[in-house]
A and B are shown apart, each in its own frame.
Chain A
C-alpha cells in the first residue's frame, strides 16, 4: 500500500474517461480498469467513483445503459459519448502540457537561469 499515490483533485474524471474509452464498463469495472492501467499505483476511494460517474453522465460525456455483466448479473454500463471523446482528447493534451511544464520547471538547474 505504501507506494500508492493520492489522486490530484480533478484527475478522477480524466481517469474515468480514459478507462471507459477503452470499452464500455460497469462501475466496478471502471475501478479495476484504472487499477490495471495505472499499475495499481493510484489510491481511489471506491464509493467516490459513483458521484463522479453520475456527474459525467449529467454533463453528457458518458452515457449509461443497463446490461448484463460477465457473470450474468444486471449491471449499469458506461460508455464514452462523442462529446466525452472530444473532452478526453482536450484534457489529455492539457495534462501533457502541464506535466511537461512542471517537469521542466522541476528539472531546472541554477546555471540555466
Chain B
C-alpha cells in the first residue's frame, strides 16, 4: 500500500522525466522516418513535412500515451492538478481573490455549522441520546402545560415498564457554608438513578447507589469539576469530606469530569455544581405525598431499548387512562390531565432552532453569492483563455478532457479556499465562541470536530462544482473557428456568455436583497424592543441577591414563616438605606427582578410549579389563561421602580401572615378576569388544594417586567411580609459605584446573618440588555452576513460593468468620435447596471416576502412585510448598485477615441 502511494507520489512529482522521454521517443520516430524518406529521394524539408504528416497529431498521441501509461483516473487527476497549480501560480492575483472569497464563504459557513452541529445536531452529550425523553404533566382543559409531577406519579412511571430509568432533575440554589465565604451553589435534586440514567461516570469517586429507596435525602452529594476547583482548589483528598448546605451535612462521594453539563433549559440549569439525591418522600417532603401535590417540576427518563417515542407515548396514554379510573378524585375530567413525552433534546434546543436555522440559511446565502461571484470571475477569465482552449482543442485535446481540466482547477481553488477558511476559523475560534450568548445551549462544546471538517470539505467541493460548472461546460462548447479568428486579445465574450454573467449578477442581487431584508427586519424589531415603553424605570437601580436556607429538618428552620422572616427583611432594609448614596430600597423574591431571564425557573420552583389559579364564584374555562406571574415584594417596590398604582391601595404593615391575604394586580390581569367590573375586593386563589383566598386590594399600571416583547403579561404581587419567599433580591436606587455598593450590601446582609451567601449583583440596565442577548446575537450575525452579501454583490456588478466597458471600448470610441456626449455614454453604461439591479431587486423582493413569513416568530412589533424595510432596503441596494456601476461608467467616458480605434 505504501509502495503504491510512493509510486503515485513519484509520478506526481517526477513526471517531467517520463514526459521528456515520451517527447524524445516520438521526435526520434519522426526523425527516423524523415531520414528514410530522404534516402528514398525526397528533399530534406519535404521529407520532414511528410514524416510529420504521416505521424498524425503528436499532441493527441502524447495524450493517449499518457493515459496508457497512467492507465487510471488518479494519474489523470494528478496531471490536471499539476497543471491547475501551474495555472493558479501564473495568475496569482486572480487566484488570491477567488481563494479569499472562498475562504470567507467556507469559513463563515463552517463557523455557523459548528454551532449548529454542537447545539442542534448533537445537543445531548450522553450515550444513546435518542432514548432520553422529558416527561411532563399537562392539564389540557385548563390550558396549563408542564405543571409538575407528584411523587406517586413518579413511582407509576418508574414501574410502568416503559423506561430503563426515571429521574427528576429539580433545580434549585443552596447555601454552602464552611468555606471562607458562604457560597450560593446551583444544585439539582435528583433520583439516585440519575447518573445511571444519563450513563455518565465521575472522574473521581462514585455516584449514587441507584437502588436507594429510603425516605428523605441521601447524606451524600456529587460535585462538579468547577466547584471542586473553585472551593476546594482541586484537593485530591476531597472524597468523604463533608460540606454543609442549607445547614444540612453531606459527604462528597464523587466529582464529575470537567465539561460535564446537565440537560437543562437555561444556562443556570445546565451548569449544576452539586447533585443531591432523594426518593422524593420523607423529610422535608411529606412521608406519603398526595397524588395531586405536583411538586416535582419535571422528569427525565431513558426509554427501554428499541422503543420509539410514539409507542412509548401510546403505552403512557393507556397508563394515564387506568390511573384516571383508579383515582377519579385526583384526576377530575375537567382538568384534562395527561402525561406527555418529548425528546429531551427538544426541551433544550426547541427555542433556539429557529434562530440557528435562520443563521445557517443566511450564511448559506452568503456562500451562494460568493460562488456566483467566483463563477463570474471564472467566466471573465474563460473568455481571456478562450484562445488557449481553442488552440488546445485544435491540437487534439478532447472536449471532455478540457471540461475535466477546468473543473479540476475550480475544485482546487475551492479546496484551497476552504482550507484557508478553516485555518482562519481555527485562529479566531475563541473569539467566535465568546460571541455566542449563554442562552444558547452548549452541552457539547462548540469545536471544529471531524464532522464539522467533513462539512467544510463537502461545502468546498459543492461550491467548487457550483462555480466551476458553467465555465467548464462552456469551454467544451467552444466554437473553434470563431475563437481562433479573434485576433490578439482573446475572444470577446459571446452573447451567450454575457447573458450567463448577467443572470449570475441578477441572482446575486436577489439573494443579497433577501439577506438585507432579513437583517432589516431583525434590526427594526430590535430597535422597537430597545425603544419599547417599559412601564418601569431601570435607571440607577442595582439588584443584589441572597437566599435563605431550607433545612431538611423543618424544625430548625429560622425562617419557616413570613413572621419569622420579617425581622430579617426589616433589618436588611434599614441597614441598606443607611448606605451612602442609596435613596430607596425594596426587597422581593427573585421573580421581582425585572427581565432577569436566568431566574424564571427558580420563580416557578419556589411556587412548586406554575401558579394555576381560580377566581371566586367562577369556573375558569380552558380558553382563559389561568397561569399568571406572581411575585412577593416589600411595599416600597412599586415606588422604587416607578410603577404607578392606578386604583386601590398598596400593602401596608397591617398585612401579615396572620391577616387575610391581599394582592396588588396589574391592569392586564384586572382587564382579563374582571373586564366590566371593579376588581377591588374580588378574590382568587391557587388551584392547589387548601390554598387561601387572596383579595385584590390595588391595581397597578402594566409594566414589562417579565418580558420586553410581551405588553400585557398577567401579574400580581403579594407582600413578602405576608407570603414567605426565600430566594431574595435587594433592589437599591440611588447614585453610587455599583461594585462598591454590592460589597457593602454583602457586609450588611452577613452582619445580620453570617451564613447567607450574597451574589448576583447587576444593574437593571444589565438585566434589560441581557434579556435581549439572543436577539442581539442573531441580529448582529445576520447583519454582518447581509453586509458581506452587499459587498459581494457590489463587487459583482462592478466586475460585470467593467467587463462590458472593456468589451465595448471600441464601440464607445466610435460613438465619441462621432460626437456622442460623455453624458450619453455615462447614461448608456449606468442603464446597464441599473437594469441588472432592478431585475435583481424584483426577484429578491419576491423571495424576501416568502422568507419573511418563516421569520415571523423571530420578529417583534414588525409585520413580516414591513413597508419601511421592504422599501428602504431595495433603495439602499439600488444606490450601491448605481455607485458600483458609476466607477466603470466614468472610465468609459474617459475613453480616448483615437487610442480605442487604433487598438482594434
Known: A47-B56, A48-B56, A50-B25. A28 touches B32 (CB 8 A): yes
From residue 17 to 65 of chain B, which have CB atoms closer than 8 A to chain A? Answer: 21-22, 24-26, 28-29, 31-33, 35, 54-58, 60-61, 64-65
Name A10-63 residues within 8 Å CB distance of B: 26-28, 31, 45-48, 50-52, 54-55, 58
Bound together, the chains give a CA A52 to CA B67 distance in angstroms of: 11
Known A28-B33, A46-B33, A58-B69: A75·B28 in contact at CB below 8 Å: yes
Task: Produce 1/0 per residue, A64-82, CB < 8 A to B.
Answer: 0010010101111000000
Answer yes or no: B68 CB below 8 A from chain A CBs: yes
**Contacts A58-B68, A58-B69; A50 near B28 (Cβ below 8 A):** no
Q: Which A residues are CB-close (under 8 A) to B580?
A: none
Of the four ranges (under 10, 10 to 19, 20 to 34, 35 or more), the interface on chain A belongs to 20 to 34
> Is the C-beta of B71 less than 8 angstroms from some C-beta in chain A?
yes
B58 touches A47 (CB 8 A): yes
A51-B56 contact in complex given A28-B32, A74-B28, C-beta closer than 8 Å: no
- Kindly state the separation between the CA atoms of A73 and B60 in the bound complex, as whole angstroms: 25
CA distance A28 to B31 in the complex (A): 10
Q: A46-B33, A46-B54, A46-B56 given as contacts; is B64 within 8 A of A27 (CB)?
A: no
CB–CB A47/B32 < 8 A: no
In the complex, the chain A residue whose C-beta lies closest to that of B26 is A50
Closest-CB distance, B496 to chain A (whole angstroms)? 35
Given A47-B56, A47-B57, A76-B21, A28 contacting B65 (CB threshold 8 A): no
Among B26, B35, B61, B67, which residue has the most Cβ atoms of chain A within 10 A? B61
A55 to B69, CA, bound (A): 7
Q: Which residues of B contact A73 (CB under 8 A)?
A: 28, 31-32
Contact between A27 and B60, CB atoms less than 8 A apart: no
The answer for the CA separation of A86 and B290 in the assembled complex, in Å, is 94
B55 touches A46 (CB 8 A): yes
Output the least CB separation between B769 and chain A (Å): 71
Residues of A close to B58: CB separation below 8 A: 47
A residues in contact with B35, CB < 8 Å: 71
Check B21–A51 contact: CB distance below 8 A: no
Bound-state Cα–Cα, A26 to B54, Å: 18
B56 to chain A, nearest CB (A): 4
- B34: min CB distance to chain A, Å: 10
Instruction: Please encode chain B, from 156 to 170, with 1 for each CB lying within 8 Å of some chain A CB and 0 for all others.
Output: 000000000000000
Q: Are B29 and A28 in contact (CB under 8 A)?
A: yes
Q: Are A76 and B25 in contact (CB under 8 A)?
A: yes
Inter-chain CA distance A84–B131, complex, in Å, is 64
Return A24 CB to nearest CB of chain B, in Å.
Answer: 15
Q: Please tell me which one of the listed residues A45, A69, A71, A75 contacts residue B56 in the complex, with CB atoms under 8 A apart.
A: A45
A51 touches B65 (CB 8 A): yes
Q: How far is the CA of A75 from the CA of B21 in the complex (A)?
A: 10
What residues on A are CB-neighbors of B28 within 8 Å? 26-28, 73-75
| Closest A residue by C-beta to B63 | A51
Query: What B residues does A46 contact at CB under 8 A?
Result: 29, 33, 54-56
- Measured between C-beta atoms, what is the minimum distance from A33 to chain B in Å? 13
Q: Which residue of A lies closest to B54 (CB)?
A: A46
- B692-714 near A? 1/0 per residue, CB < 8 Å: 00000000000000000000000
A55 to B71 Cα, complex, angstroms = 8
How far apart are the CA atoms of A58 and B54 in the complex, in Å?
A: 26
Question: Could you name 10 residue pairs across A and B whose Cβ atoms are closer than 8 Å?
Answer: A27-B28, A45-B56, A46-B33, A47-B57, A58-B71, A73-B28, A73-B32, A74-B28, A75-B25, A76-B21
Q: Which residues of A contact B (CB under 8 A)?
A: 26-28, 31, 45-48, 50-52, 54-55, 58, 66, 69, 71, 73-76
> Which residue numbers of B lie inside 8 Å of A, CB to CB?
21-22, 24-26, 28-29, 31-33, 35, 54-58, 60-61, 64-65, 67-69, 71
With A27-B25, A50-B25 known, 12 other A-B pairs at CB within 8 A are A27-B28, A46-B33, A50-B26, A50-B29, A50-B61, A51-B64, A54-B65, A58-B68, A71-B35, A74-B24, A74-B28, A76-B25
